[in-house]
């Protein structure tokens, strides 16, 4: 019997054909060259999930500005998704611009580890951030009781894209770290010679260093 496990960071997002409120889609193939955030919710017509969908919808253009698409998912039927999206438009005056996967049989949810026995048969609040090469870059799980922070999802997409581009690392809460502000971490020196060169570079103003293993800089340097 083939062993099944949830995907891990750095692995390719598994190819799947899904039914959504925007029609049948193939993921990740339909998002080639784009990043995407796939997030699951426990169920349609529930208060916490509704607040999340409203916020994701209102922030969708900010994700698009980062070449990132949003995809929702739960084990509800597509007709339930469609009716809920209509309800959000009618009651909250918010248009849901992204597709919502109807994983009625739980095939996708089980493959991605979105159903946790201790939380019933609905999906937990999972988040998968996938880059433009279909690599899984971040996985987060929230319990059904606690809503997500969409600011954090957006922040991490920005941080991952920035660290990829400049070959650096992002400190806690970047770009609003309490001590470093929007400065980024320079990768640690790999040997003694590089460590000495790093400290010399700091003296010349190329980096700021607390020690040879802890150097940081502005992105424009």
| Residues noted as catalytic | 49
Q: β-strands 68-74, 100-102: how paired?
A: parallel
Backbone angles phi, psi at 155, to 5 degrees: -60, -45
- How many Cβ atoms are within 10 Å of 99's Cβ, its own excluded? 22
Rounded CA separation 180/159 (Å): 14
Rounded CA separation 150/46 (Å): 18
Strands of 16-20's sheet, edge to edge? 23-27, 16-20, 100-102, 68-74, 35-40, 125-130, 136-142
Helix axes 47-58, 78-92, angle to 10 degrees: 70
């Amino acid at each position: 019997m083939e062993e099944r496990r949830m995907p891990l960071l750095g692995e390719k997002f598994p190819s799947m054909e899904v039914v959504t409120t925007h029609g049948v889609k193939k993921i990740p193939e339909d998002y080639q060259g784009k990043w995407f955030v796939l997030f699951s919710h426990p169920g349609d017509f529930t208060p916490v999930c509704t607040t999340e969908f409203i916020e994701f919808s209102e922030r969708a253009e900010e994700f698009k500005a980062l070449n990132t698409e949003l995809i929702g998912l739960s084990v509800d039927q597509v007709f339930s998704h469609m009716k809920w999206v209509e309800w959000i438009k009618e009651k909250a005056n918010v248009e849901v611009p992204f597709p919502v996967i109807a994983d009625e049989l739980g095939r996708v949810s089980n493959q991605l580890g979105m159903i946790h026995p201790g939380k019933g048969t609905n999906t937990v609040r999972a988040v998968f951030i996938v880059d433009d090469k279909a690599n899984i870059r971040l996985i987060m799980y929230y319990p059904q009781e606690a809503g997500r922070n969409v600011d954090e999802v957006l922040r991490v997409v920005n941080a991952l894209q920035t660290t990829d581009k400049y070959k650096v690392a992002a400190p806690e809460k970047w770009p609003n770290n309490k001590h470093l502000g929007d400065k980024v971490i320079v990768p640690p020196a790999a040997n003694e010679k590089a460590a000495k060169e790093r400290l010399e570079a700091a003296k010349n103003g190329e980096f700021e260093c607390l020690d040879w293993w802890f150097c940081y800089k502005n992105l424009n340097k």
